Amino acid sequence: MKRSKKEDLGKGIRALLSSLDDDVSIKKAGAKRVKEVMNTIIDLPITTIEVNPFQPRVHFDETALEELKKSIQIHGVVQPITVRKVGVNQFQLIAGERRLRASKLAGLKNIPAYVRLADDQQMLEIALIENIQREDLNPVEVALTYQRLIEECDLIHEQLGERVGKNRSTVSNYLRLLKLPPEVQKGLKEKTLAMGHAKALLGIEDVVLQIALSKEVITNNLSVRQTEALVKKYTTRSKAPKQKSDPSHSLPLAYKKLQDQLTSSLGTKVAIKRKTGGHGEIIINYYNDDDLNRIIDMLEEL
């Protein structure tokens, strides 16, 4: 029996609708698969992962990388990296660049990864927070990372504290370290000064005195309590009533510049007293015997 054109047309429409249903089913299955991947750890080919452009770390210790490589060769990657999907079979690293680098050195083809959804700001925030959680960070590095989170992720102290699991006062104490002069920050970076030492030194407004006392703390290996007592001694002295200076003896600009240059060069407070007639005196402050010997050594080299 010959089929009518109407029947053939109806069959074609049914086939088309069936095809569309299949497409919808495929898309639903695909979405389900993506959802499943987003909540599981999967092995990804290392070649499909690009580095995080927001990575806050710029230096990776070669010795530490070599040690991690050997560990991975023996035990594998214990802690998965975190990535986000950016294209077909293409991922971008959010956290774990050190593990990724070491895995490449170890010759791995695949690496366990946790896939998550994240926009650019979230990526930066995750990378910075992971950076803070490293055990080898010194207090200045932590403070700088907090500062980046505040400025680049538009967070206030309370929000930052919630993100990193610290209270507001702890965050504020770290950020205050960035007000210390570079010489004192160097002690924190080299771990010759502890956080408690730095908090005590922040009680002094005179930058030159801060530097001098930090050197004394390091040289004499003073405890935090001893440092607090030392700072208290100098802050008490600085609160003593000062004699009023004679405005007629104010220094000309050239002398003030010279006074500042001497203060900077010697690393201690220097005062030029210019009297009527052109004569005067230069007063060089020192804070202890070690500081005096340091200044004498510098003067002998001139």
Same domain, 203 and 270: no
Q: Look at residue 78 and tell me if it is in a domain.
A: yes
Q: 185-208 burial, b for 16+ CB within 10 Å, e for fewer?
A: bebbeeeebbbebbbbbbebeeeb
- Distance of alpha carbon 110 from alpha carbon 103, whole angstroms: 9
Domain boundary pick from 67, 100, 119: 119
- Number of domains the chain contains: 3
CATH at residue 113: 3.90.1530.30
Same domain, 276 and 226: no
Domain boundary pick from 92, 119, 146: 119
Return the number of other C-beta atoms located less than 10 Å from residue 52's C-beta: 24
| The pLDDT of residue 237 | 59
The reported pTM is 0.47
| The pLDDT of residue 56 | 56
Q: How far is CA 215 from CA 224, 270, 292, in A?
A: 14, 18, 12
Q: Which of 108, 76, 79, 109 is nearest to 95 (CA)?
A: 79
Q: Look at residue 178 and tell me if it is in a domain.
A: no
Same domain, 211 and 269: no
Same domain, 64 and 93: yes
Which tokens sit at 187?
């002690």
Q: Which domain holds residue 272?
A: 248-301
> pLDDT at residue 151 above 90?
no
Q: Look at residue 277 and tell me if it is in a domain.
A: yes
Average pLDDT over residues 99-110: 91
Q: Look at residue 257 and tell me if it is in a domain.
A: yes
Same domain, 255 and 287: yes
Q: Look at residue 102 and tell me if it is in a domain.
A: yes
- Distance of alpha carbon 58 from alpha carbon 286, whole angstroms: 40
φ and ψ at 64, to 5 degrees? -65, -40
- Distance of alpha carbon 90 from alpha carbon 192, whole angstroms: 45
Q: Look at residue 295 and tell me if it is in a domain.
A: yes
Secondary structure (DSSP) of 54-65: T-------HHHH
Judged by DSSP in three states, 180 sits in coil
Domain boundary pick from 87, 119, 151: 119
Q: Look at residue 72 and tell me if it is in a domain.
A: yes
Alpha-helical (H) ranges within 165-267 are 168-176, 182-189, 195-201, 207-219, 224-238, 253-266
Same domain, 98 and 49: yes
- Distance of alpha carbon 245 from alpha carbon 242, whole angstroms: 9
8 Å CB contact between 204 and 210: yes
Average pLDDT over residues 26-33: 42
Average pLDDT over residues 86-106: 86
- pLDDT digits 0-9 by tens, 173-210: 888 998 888 889 999 988 899 999 999 999 888 888 88
8 Å CB contact between 197 and 226: no
| The pLDDT of residue 48 | 92
Same domain, 48 and 93: yes
Which tokens sit at 192?
């010759």
8 Å CB contact between 108 and 72: yes
Looking at every residue in the chain, the average pLDDT score rounds to: 75
What single DSSP character describes residue 250?
P
Query: Which residues carry out catalysis?
Result: 97
- Distance of alpha carbon 168 from alpha carbon 149, whole angstroms: 14
